[in-house]
A and B are shown apart, each in its own frame.
Chain A
Amino acid sequence: EIVMTQSPATLSVSPGERATLSCRASQSVSSNLAWYQQKPGQAPRLLIYGASTRATGIPARFSGSGSGTEFTLTISSLQSEDFAVYYCQQYNNWSWTFGQGTKVEIK
């Protein structure tokens, strides 16, 4: 099973600042990597798939990069509605796995 490791566990950022979240796979997943946002009491929402393609309706301030084993989600200028938990997920093989999440909180 591919293990996904996200860092940091918690990221404290001021509104308007840039946030950079990392996700590492225990073996190559090519570009088969997605990012999700989850707010308290809500189901997750797809942000990015294919490592760098924004899902429908996702603002341009969200961007994804990377391939193989190293991936990054960047939020260019944090808005109040962006404070949430973010998960990466690999879908390179049939046993898909999530990272443990990064909580983005207000500094």
Chain B
Amino acid sequence: EVQLVQSGAEVKKPGESLKISCKGSGYSFTSYWIGWVRQMPGKGLEWMGIIYPGDSDTRYSPSFQGQVTISADKSISTAYLQWSSLKASDTAMYYCATHSGWIDYWGQGTLVTVSS
């Protein structure tokens, strides 16, 4: 069974850094793209970017390029999404998901709250 298990909810202050994780199991982690989707409170889904853990090829949505960093550690089947300096507008639920073009499997989501 494919499972994506994300790290727990985070509460941070503006300007702080953050790295959230997504551990995949039940499939060949290095053979499928894995990426991130943002959902701001009460809003729709926004595709952020993806990484191919096999060779670390990474693609970003223009809206998120330079705002976040996507990475992966294939030795522990884990993908990451990180910020160097959070803003209040980064408050959202973040989902990791495997991609076959369409999005097959979703993690449970990580709620990130940024507030002073």
Contacts and interface: CB of A to CB of B under 8 A. Distances in A.
Majority SS of interface residues in chain B? strand
Majority SS of interface residues in chain A? loop
A44 B102 contact: no
Given A32-B101, A43-B106, A89-B103, A95 B45 contact: no
In this complex, the interface size class of chain B, counting residues with CB under 8 Å from chain A, is: 20 to 34
Contacts of B63: 1
B10 interface: no
B47 to A, nearest CB: 5
B108 interface: yes
B109 A101 contact: no
B73 interface: no
Interface string B97-116: 00111111011110000000
